[in-house]
Chains A and B, each alone.
Chain A
Amino acid sequence: MSTDSILQVSNLTKIYGRELVLGGRKLLGDQVIGAQDVSFSVVKGEIFGFLGPNGAGKTTTMRSILDYLKIKSGKVTIFGLDHRKDRIEIRKNIGYMPGDMALFKNFTGEELIDYFSKFRPMNKEFFTELKKNFRVNLRKKIKTLSTGNRRQVGLIAALASKPDFLILDEPTAGLDPLMTANFHRIIKKLSREEKITIFLSSHDLAEVQQICDRVGIIKEGKMILVENVEDLKTKFLQKCIVQFEDTSSLPTIDEFKAISSVISVDKINEHSFSLKIQEDVKDLLKLLTKYPVKRLRLEDATLEEIFLQFYA
């Protein structure tokens, strides 16, 4: 475990439901795997993005980390403390916003934040800054607020104490673009200047690409990848567009496909090809030297394209 690891998840497995098995035969019940052997760590001051489509296991993993769900096996430590045994101690320094967030409807935003601040004192200066950035009316009752405004109240409540570790489940879902941009700015500032650690899940790949340092991709309950966002883009997928001088001397599609790093080839027009390449471009360049190349454009794939590569 890294010495500055804030969250360490080792082989976390969560299974929903129970089965009654007798003599190897299932008699009753049903089990569904929520998360299987999930391992990763989040280090101090980083923004870790947790990606996956609906039902992939993001919320299950987050709720297991927070000890809302009982895990079948594995180990979770936060600040080096056991997530179950030291539940109260850990919560003194954690801000959490659930994805399916619900607040007390009869409270006003101010009452709610004041109520929560009794358990984890708020940082008044930072709270004032948050109120300026999120333009939600905290004097209104929660039940009168729109979904987006409720989420803003939830975000302010989670951030108000300026905790060392933030766990945010799809924090920008339902926020308008202006509030989303404000949230991104605050989160980046907290991470860069205050060394606050942030673990967030998202469907929004552009968001993760924009604010996260590292990303974990979960598929069917299994963590299939944990990678630095920048490395991920270069290591996993690049797009290449190659244009040749004339049509008389062109490589065939099969020649491209014979190169192990080429994932796909599309002929754009008579002169040009579009290729998707994984990792090494050396073999491709070797092939291209045999032909009269007019233009060559190589660019990193977006996180969305990488994500689709795993989910296609």
Chain B
Amino acid sequence: MVYIYSKNLKKSYLMGLIPPIFVAGFVITIAMGWPSLQDLILDRLAEMDNPIYKAIIGDMGLEGLGLNFQAALFMYAGGTMNLIGLFVSIFVPVKLLSSEADEKSLDIVLSYPIPRWRYLLEKFGVYLTYNLLFPFFMASSMIGTAVILGETYDVVLIINYAFGYWLLLFGLGSIALFCATIFLDSNRSLAAAGAVIIASYLLDSMGGLLGLIDLQFLSLFHYFKIDGILEAGMLPLGEVVTVIAVGFGFLVSALYLFDKREISY
């Protein structure tokens, strides 16, 4: 029934597992260093209020958390996930299609009675499935280390943030996939997806400095900030609807385009 999904899930387990394990490993490393490096980490956390830092690594909305272990984990793990997510959401969805276009294996696959849209959707499903490991590994390593160290933590915040991160990867991945269906080949697809997603990231991270605050809502990176989740007690519904709508819109457009377009190299 979903052979393309299950086969690709099995075949790409290594690439799917390494980034989330890296994030979990990072959280555990911070936790291990926490007792001896607590002051240093908290100093760094305090520095993060600086608008220049926010512009470079993105504003995660940590202000509402205070200076504690949980905030430190969010700063390091969340910051790392933001950067990993930036690359994962550009490279993986584009490569789902463009690597096959580059190798010209699409011809033989599409000669079988599979609707093109379904083929692409099942492959995108693999991307979404492995991306579920990011929030899972992040949340479990954060909660686990907090429990071991006897530090306070907010389960609702962690789970909501993690799920929001997954939704963000869905939205960004759909944009990248749409770029891949337009261009097919890796070079142009990566350039287009990279330009759109990195511009979106910069719009959010540097928008404040550049006086583009009114335009920041156009960037998906602007949503699901920690202070917003804390305020609403959950993922803000409007932001969830926006990100899902953008992701869904681009995904449907990508599937439609791939189904109708010419497969030329």
Contacts and interface: CB of A to CB of B under 8 A. Distances in A.
A102 B111 contact: no
Contacts of B111: 66, 91, 94-96, 98
A119 B103 contact: no
A118 interface: yes
Nearest to A169: B107
Contacts of A96: 107-108, 111
Nearest to A95: B111
A168 to B, nearest CB: 11
A102 B3 contact: no
Interface in B74-122: 103-105, 107-108, 110-115
A105 B103 CA distance: 9
B264 interface: yes
B113 A119 contact: yes
Contacts, number: 61
B263 A68 contact: yes
Contacts of A120: 112-113
Nearest to A90: B113
Given A98-B108, A115-B3, A68 B264 contact: yes
A143 to B, nearest CB: 11
Interface string A89-108: 10110111110111111110
B7 interface: yes
Contacts of A63: 107, 263
B112 A119 contact: yes
B125 to A, nearest CB: 16
Nearest to B107: A98
Chain B interface mostly:
loop
Interface in B16-35: none
A154 B107 CA distance: 12
Contacts of B107: 63, 68, 96, 98, 100-102
A12 interface: no
Contacts of A107: 11
A91 B113 contact: yes
Nearest to A106: B11
A92 B113 contact: yes
Contact of A68 (B110, B113, B115): B110
Nearest to B113: A91
B11 A102 contact: no
A120 B111 CA distance: 10
B104 A98 contact: yes
Contacts of A94: 111
B262 interface: yes
A70 B264 CA distance: 9
A120 B113 CA distance: 7
A102 B262 contact: no
Interface in B238-265: 262-264
Contacts of B103: 102, 105
Nearest to A71: B262
B115 A101 contact: no
A79 interface: no
Given A69-B262, A69-B264, A102 B104 contact: yes
Contacts of B105: 102-104
Contacts of A273: none
A20 interface: no
Nearest to A66: B111
Interface in A180-209: none
Given A115-B7, A119-B3, A68 B112 contact: no
A116 interface: yes
A157 interface: yes
A102 B112 CA distance: 15
A94 B111 CA distance: 8
A103 B107 CA distance: 10
Interface in A109-159: 115-116, 118-120, 154, 157
Contacts of A21: none
Given A68-B263, A69-B264, A154 B7 contact: no
Contact of B262 (A70, A92, A116): A70
A168 B103 CA distance: 19
Interface of A: 16, 63, 66, 68-70, 88-89, 91-92, 94-98, 100-107, 115-116, 118-120, 154, 157
Closest 8 CB pairs of A and B: A96-B111, A119-B112, A91-B113, A118-B3, A68-B263, A98-B107, A102-B105, A102-B103
30 contacts: A16-B264, A63-B107, A68-B264, A88-B114, A88-B115, A91-B111, A91-B112, A91-B113, A91-B114, A94-B111, A95-B111, A96-B107, A96-B111, A97-B108, A98-B104, A98-B111, A100-B104, A101-B108, A102-B104, A103-B105, A104-B11, A104-B105, A105-B103, A107-B11, A115-B7, A118-B3, A119-B3, A119-B112, A119-B114, A157-B108
Given A69-B262, A105-B103, A116-B112, 5 more contacts: A92-B113, A95-B111, A102-B108, A103-B105, A119-B113
